[in-house]
Amino acid sequence: MKWIEEFDYILRALSGVSAARRESPAAHHPVDAIATDVDACRHAAGLMRVNHVGEICAQA
């Protein structure tokens, strides 16, 4: 029976019938929140720093 549920899940995902179960996190952060290019660069640098730390921790 489990394989039938999994097959149903795959078909729903591929056909677009399924809906998201939770709201998108981007809904709380409007595009205008990053006002200038400097702010955008700082924001991107912060995200990359967090990403890099996560990669280092994952390798350890």
For the stretch 32-47, pLDDT in tens is 655 567 777 788 788 7
pTM of the predicted model over 0.75: no
Q: Digits of tens for pLDDT over the chain (60 positions)?
A: 788 888 888 888 888 776 667 777 666 766 665 556 777 778 878 878 777 777 777 777
Domain ranges of the chain: 31-60
Q: Which pair of tokens denotes residue 52? A: 């890099």
Sign of CA dihedral 4, 6, 11, 16: positive
In order of 37, 38, 51, 52, 53, the CA distances from 44 in angstroms are 10, 10, 10, 12, 14
